[in-house]
Amino acid sequence: MVFEFGPSSAPGVYGMPLYDIAVVTQFIGGGSGRPVPVDGNAFLQVRFRNASTVDPATGTQTFTQTDIRPGLPLVRDVKLIDDFERVMTWGIGLERLVCAKVTELPGPVRLVVDLPTPP
């Protein structure tokens, strides 16, 4: 999974937003407090702070594909769980739990969450 971030009109320095990645058993919608279904047997949550799919200057949605089913053996579903007050949470549904390797790349700013599969 690659998350790419472009410049923003929001206050602050352009760069990699703060993030955390966690293994979770379910996803909870921030505003509703209700479970959000994600297809899979194991789940990773990727949360970014000071990032959004909405342009803060115009309110325009900048990324609209919020439920992705890539058809891969390991990754079954990728879904935007919440995007509120510049805290954006993505859920990754996996066939089985694996240890993710995380890499930060510059120009453009990207976070790579590498989920290894056997050859």
pLDDT tens digits, residue range 60-84?
Answer: 888 888 899 999 999 999 999 999 9
- In this prediction, what percent of the chain has a pLDDT beyond 70? 94
Number of compact structural domains in the chain: 1
Between 30 and 65, where is the model more confident? 65
105 domain-assigned: no
Q: For residue 111, is pLDDT > 80?
A: yes
Domain that holds residue 43: 9-98
Q: CB-based contacts of 54: which residues, under 8 Å, 6+ apart?
A: 60, 61, 62, 83
Is residue 5 scored above 70 in pLDDT?
Answer: yes
* pTM (two decimals): 0.89
Tally of CB atoms within 10 A around 37: 12
Q: How many helices (H) and strands (E) does the chain have?
A: 0, 10
Do the domain assignments include residue 1?
no
CA distance readout (Å), 65 to 23, 53, 79, 90 = 23, 10, 9, 12
First to last CA, the chain: 18
pLDDT of residue 15: 82
